[in-house]
Structure 1
Amino acid sequence: MIDYEQLIDKWIADDVKYKKGDWRIGKKLLPEQRETLGRYSRNCRRNRKHSFKTIYNTINVLHRLSLSIQKPYEEMTAHELEDYLLSRKISDSALNTEKMIVQTFFKYIYSTDYKPEPVKWIKCKTEPRKYTSDDVLTIEEIDLMISKCKSTRDKTLVAMFYDTGGRIGELIENSNYGDLKQDNRGMYIRVRGKTGERPIRLKDSVVYLNDYLDDHPSKKPSDPLFVSNDVKRLSTRQAYRIVKNAARDAKIEKNVFPHLFRHTKITHMAPLVSDQILKKQFGWKPSSRMTENYVHVSEDMQDRAICEAYGIKITEEEDVKNELRTIKCNNCQTVNPYSYAKCSNCKLFLHQDDNQLVETPEEITRKSVIQVLDEFGISATELKIMAYQKAKQKKLKAQQEDEEEYFKYGGGNMDDYKWMEKMNEEGNF
């Protein structure tokens, strides 16, 4: 789990590593700025109105502002703040968030509930982005995205984004292997979010999750649930890329991103449960009005609800269930994801008579390799890690050999070395 409290202290202490070429390299907070930011950070933590992640994002925004306008906050003018904020090359929603952060911060500095002079000009839009029923994903689109994923981890991630309707921070940054639980009703996961900890019952993603857990490189409860190829916690940026790539490969023209699965799941669940259950399930306070922003009722949903109220029966063809597609193996009765060609349990073909298909030499070799790996207790993920480490060692060895050849010719320019080698081959030396 990311320690945001520690990261906050690092920002205030200027103990931050920037990417190469970042304009902030070499810049430091003024002593007055550092003192004020530290005091504001402690005040935010003491009041406990926001999560550590929110406070971290706030300090991040103010740190950037402080390095751009290097003078005590009380001396900053409205003109300087306006120039800075208008120069930010970010989306309208992100800019609106930064304006609110700066406005609140200057109210704190001037100890007032009203907007002080430097931020009087700021106008924040409180209207959230409006989504329609056409923006949310269909079950068919989600199934197609899962089928285009190239690994069990990616399939599971996409399935769980929909199944849980969770925020990206809850699933990626805060979820560990030990947060998955089993009871007599099935599997659920305990997530930690803005409103604390809550359980989320799993259904559609379980068939994918079981396969992924078999390949998981670690079974320690404290280890991340979703890991990258180098066995570190998967980053939110990597999760975004996985979702974007799956949507692209599935040729979905909508703007697909992790949070859209939350909109989709809440829209699908809204007709089935009460408003208070919905708020509890998705991590909102009982008094929250967030359902207004997340429930996107289509004309079909409206008409079906009215028909049910009037006692008009819905035919089986019309009764579309919002569930990810699965297929049961005819041989062992195991429920598998519909996109699987073979049963995850008995390895027989799912979508056609396996007797009509002849295994290729490649398939026979693959089975033999898997059998040997199983005998030695090596998972597919562990094999990938070993291959990655081997490739890394091979690359380092090649670099060392190049350096040895390089010094053979007096440590000259590598291009000179290659030119001399070519001339030697042609007999010109």
Structure 2
Amino acid sequence: MTIQILDRSIALKHLVIGGSRFIGIKFYPDKVIQAMIKSLPGIGWSNFFQMAVLPNNPTNLQEIFDRFKGVAWVNTQYFFLNRPVNHGEVNLSVDDFRKRKPKQGRRYCPEEFYLKLEIRKYSLNTARIYISMFENFMNYYSKEEDLMRLSEMEVKKYMQHLVNQGKSDSYLNQALNAIKFYYEVVKEMPNRFYDIERPIKREPLPKVLGKNEVLAMIKVTHNLKHRCIISLLYSAGLRRAELLNLIPADIESERMMIRVRGGKGGKDRYTLLGRQVLDDLRDYYKKAQPKQYLFEGANGGRYSPTSIMKIVRRAALKAGIAKRVTPHMLRHSFATHLLESGTDLRYIQVLLGHNSSRTTEIYTHVANTNLLGIKNPLDLD
């Protein structure tokens, strides 16, 4: 059997010209490709995009595939939606946003925006951010403005407006993600705004605590529930949302493991369960007898993220720690201390639930493992 290797290729992209949707065809100069593109019915050229263009409809799309089959590879990575769906067990509902009382002169996200968030099971936190960010974008323009007619230039002007307001890099990225979500996921036009610049990605080192500082925080926390929360954040390397999502059955005492359900990206994983933490958890469970979640509010239901933050900060102050401590610093400290004790980076990656080892490798920059053996020049004889 002979395998045919195509050395010619074209790339399809989503374009909007004069408010209408077009298929952009990008290609490198080639007499065969040029002749075939010119023969496509209804073909045109966009000087602005420097691409051949066809009205975006199923007939024209199929015509492209039929014409170039066996002649050139049709690259559709910028054209078809190809994003993973969150497979988490918790179904998202954004009914609270749907039921908001309308304010005069303010636009709200369309129903299709809400539906796509729910169907793809985005986390509630991500949904809140996307809704808020996209509504800010919508209301930057007049109520009569057709969002589908906005070009890359309009989006860039809005991003420049945010920069001039002094918004952080994180805010800018979230705003652009929300805008791209509407056009590329809701309207199914992937990478329509592929040429919009993002802020240069900064890579600050994670802030960590010393082990004695963490132990001091646990020691000064006399409330059993609060002590269990701080201990779990540190000893299991949990994110705050993962801690709040725990149910009693996730504590697998026989295996000394904790099952983390629906972590970042909807992934499940297992992490460590400490012996001292287990003893405290057993005492806490007998006294609190939570009905659904391991940690619940006064009236039942999942404990609030704000309460977790307050517990951690209060413990840090009582322990005499001057720096501003957050729940995520305990997770960073977990990873760093494991690395310093000689745990293989690959195991730490699994415990943290990182997709890439590159994400975990950042802890090598804060761990003192290789630095302690270096003699300070002031101490040299």
Alignment TM class, shorter chain as reference: 0.5 to 0.7
Aligned residue among 268, 273, 277 for 2:343: 273
Aligned pairs, how many?
Answer: 278
Corresponding position: 1:113 with 2:191: yes
What do you get for the CA RMSD once the two structures are aligned? 3.5
Shift of 1:92: 3.9
Q: Provide closer, same or farther for how the CA distance between residues 213 and 2 of structure 1 changes in structure 2, counting only shifts above 3 A.
A: same
How much has 1:10 moved relative to structure 2? 4.6
Query: Which of residues 130, 136, 147 in structure 1 aligns to 2:208?
Result: 136
1:157 aligns with 2:244: no
Instruction: Please state whether the residue corresponding to 1:128 is helix, strand or coil.
Output: coil
The alignment status of 1:34 with 2:110, answered yes or no, reads yes
Deviation for aligned residue 1:140: 1.3
In structure 2, the CA distance between the partners of 1:25 and 1:191, relative to structure 1 (3 Å rule), is farther
Give the secondary structure class of the aligned counterpart of 2:253.
Answer: strand
Q: CA offset at residue 306 of structure 1?
A: 8.7
**CA pair 191-129 structure 1, distance change in 2 beyond 3 A:** same
Q: Give the alignment partner of residue 99 of structure 1, picking from 176, 182, 189.
A: 176
Change over 3 Å in CA distance of 1:217–1:110 after alignment to 2:
closer
Offset at residue 139 of structure 1 (A)? 1.6
Match of 1:252 among 310, 321, 330: 321
Q: Among 262, 265, 283, which residue is 1:211 paired with?
A: 283
Deviations 1:344-402 (A, max 9, x none): xxxxxxxxxxxxxxxxxxxxxxxxxxxxxxxxxxxxxxxxxxxxxxxxxxxxxxxxxxx
Counterparts of 1:3 and 1:111, CA distance in 2: 27
- Give the structure 2 partner of residue 123 of structure 1: 198
Q: Structure 2: which amino acid aligns with 1:254? A: K
- Specify the SS of the correspondent of 1:291: helix
Distance between the aligned counterparts of 2:105 and 2:312, measured in 1? 36
Q: Alpha carbons of 1:139 and 1:52: their partners in 2 closer, same or farther (altered >3 Å)?
A: same
8 Å Cα contact 1:62/1:102 also seen in 2: yes
Q: Matched residues, percent identical?
A: 24
Report the Cα distance in structure 2 between the residues aligned to 1:130 and 1:199, rounded to whole angstroms.
Answer: 26
Q: What TM-score do you get using the length of structure 1 for normalisation?
A: 0.55
What CA deviation, in whole Å up to 9, does each residue of 1:203-229 have, x standing for no partner?
1522332332222133x4xx1111223
Cross-structure match for 1:177: 248
Moved more, 59-68 or 204-213: 59-68
Q: Aligned equivalents of 1:156 and 1:212: distance in 2?
A: 8
Is the aligned partner of 1:231 residue 2:300? yes
Distance 1:213 1:206 in 2: 10
Q: Structure 1 residues 259 and 25 mapped into 2: Cα distance closer, same or farther (>3 Å)? A: farther
**Comparing both structures, which one devotes a greater share of its residues to strand?**
2
Note the C-alpha offset of 1:114: 5.5
TM-score (norm 2): 0.61
- CA distance in 2: counterparts of 1:146 and 1:25, whole angstroms: 47
Q: CA separation in 1, counterparts of 2:363 and 2:178?
A: 24
CA change 1:26–1:288 in 2 (3 A) is farther
2:311 aligned residue: 242
Q: Of residues 258, 262, 266 in structure 2, which corresponds to 1:189? A: 258
Shift of 1:34: 0.8
- Confirm or deny that 1:282 pairs with 2:319: no
Q: What pairs with 1:37-76 in structure 2 (closer than 5 Å)?
A: 37-38=113-114, 41=117, 45=120, 54-55=126-127, 57-69=129-141, 70=143, 71-76=145-150
Deviation at 1:89, TM superposition (A): 7.3
Kindly report structure 1 stretches of 4+ aligned residues shifted beyond 6 Å: none
Shift in CA distance, 305/216, structure 1 to aligned 2, threshold 3 Å: farther
Indicate if the aligned counterparts of 1:4 and 1:53 stay in contact, CA closer than 8 A.
Answer: no
The structure having more radius of gyration, on CA atoms, is 1
Distance 1:25 1:148, change over 3 A: farther
**Cα pair distance change 1:149/1:2, threshold 3 Å:** farther
Deviation for aligned residue 1:25:
4.9
Higher helix share: 1
